[in-house]
Amino acid sequence: MTMKPDVSIAGDKATTGLHGRSYSGEAALAIEGISHCYGPRQALGDVSFTVAPASFTALLGLNGAGKSTLFSLVTRLFGVQAGRVSIFGHDIGQEPGEALRLLGVVFQPRTLDLDLSVTQNLLYHAALHGIDRRGARLRAGEVLARIGLADRPGSKVRDLSGGQMRRLEIARALLHRPRLLLLDEATVGLDVKARADILGHVRGLVIEQGIGVLWATHLFDEIVPSDDLVILHQGRILAKGEVVRVVAEAKARDLHSAFMHLTGTTPETGGAAP
C-alpha cells in the first residue's frame, strides 16, 4: 500500500504535518520530490515528507532502504539531483549556510576525533560554527551537563564507552543550538540501557526545547504510537503519518506487522528487530 503524500509547503503559515495536525510557521524539514541515483542505480525515488517543529519523526527502513543517502542529501554531503530540501524554509542548495546552521546531525558512523578530549571535540565543532572560544566553553559545559557527561570533559574520546560516544555526538550536535536534529541509526551497536537513555534524551529535547527530530532506524521498539512515521523501502516511501494511522490503514495489529505487510518482507528476510 502506498499512501498519497500529504504534501506541505515549507514557508506556509499553516502547515500540515505527517499526522495531519496543523502547526504554525515553517516545516523544520521539508523534503519535496527527492530522487537520487548512483550511476544507473536509483537510491531514492520521488521522496516527499515534512518534519514539524517540536515533533519526533521516525524514518523506518531496512538496511539499504536509502536512509543514509537521504541524510547525506539533507546535510549537503551530496548534491540534490532532483527535488528540493529545505530547513525552516531555507533551501539547502540555495542557502546552505542558513539551512545548516539550523541543523544538528548525528551520523551513523562515529565522527568524533578519538585523539582529542571531550571538550576539544566540542570546541572544534563550535569553531566550525563560528562560535568564539568563551561562548563555546559555556555551551560545552551546558550540553555536557544535559547529556550526563559533565564529569568527563577532559577524557580522551577513545576512552569513552560506545554509549558515551553517542551521547557526546548528540551533545556536539546540540552545541550550536539547532532547531532540527537528524540522527541516523544513532543507537546501533549499543546495549539496551544505552539505547533507552539516548532515545529518552532525544525525546526530551522535543518536549523541552521544541526541536524537530528525524530519527532514522530499523528498530521497531524505538517507535511509539504517537510518533510521526515515514516508512522508506528500496528508496521509496511506502507510508507516512502517525504510527497508529499507518497501522490502521495497513489493517495490521501492530507496527511490525504493518511494516512486513507494506514491504512484503517476512521476519526472516526483513532483518529488522521486532
Partner 1 sequence: MNSAIVKERPAGFSFAQYLTCLNGIVWREGLRFVHQRERFVSALVRPLVWLFIFAAGFRQVLGISIIPPYETYILYEVYITPGLLAMIQLFNGMQSSLSMVYDREMGNMRTLLVSPMPRWYLLFCKLLAGTAVSVLQVYAFLLIAWFWDIEPPPIGYLTVLPALVLSGLMLGSLGMLISSGIRQLENFAGVMNFVIFPMFFASSALYPLWRVQEGSPMLYYICQINPFTHAVELIRFALYGKMNWVSLAVVCGCTAIFMIGAVLAYDPSRGLSRRGPAGGET
Per CB under 8 A, residues contacting partner 1 are 24-26, 28, 36, 38-39, 43, 53-54, 61-69, 72, 75-81, 88, 93, 96-103, 105, 107-113, 115-116, 120, 123-133, 179, 184-185, 208-212, 218
Nearest approach in angstroms of CB 194 to partner 1 is 19
Tell me whether residue 28 or residue 247 sits nearer to partner 1 (CB atom).
28
For the record, the C-alpha cell of 93 comes out as 542548495
Tell me whether residue 244 or residue 270 sits nearer to partner 1 (CB atom).
270
108 CB-side CA count, 13 A: 14
Residue 273 backbone class (left: φ over 0; alpha: ψ -120 to 50; beta: rest): beta
Tell me whether residue 51 or residue 198 sits nearer to partner 1 (CB atom).
51
Given a contact cutoff of 8 angstroms between Cβ atoms, the answer to whether 181 and 202 are in contact is yes
Tell me whether residue 178 or residue 241 sits nearer to partner 1 (CB atom).
178
Nearest approach in angstroms of CB 4 to partner 1 is 26
Nearest approach in angstroms of CB 166 to partner 1 is 13
Given a contact cutoff of 8 angstroms between Cβ atoms, the answer to whether 140 and 126 are in contact is yes
Nearest approach in angstroms of CB 248 to partner 1 is 28
Tell me whether residue 238 or residue 247 sits nearer to partner 1 (CB atom).
238
Tell me whether residue 101 or residue 261 sits nearer to partner 1 (CB atom).
101
| Amino acid letter for position 171 | A
Nearest approach in angstroms of CB 249 to partner 1 is 25
**CB neighbours of 40 closer than 8 A, spacing ≥ 6?**
none
**CB neighbours of 72 closer than 8 A, spacing ≥ 6?**
78
Tell me whether residue 122 or residue 247 sits nearer to partner 1 (CB atom).
122
Tell me whether residue 66 or residue 245 sits nearer to partner 1 (CB atom).
66
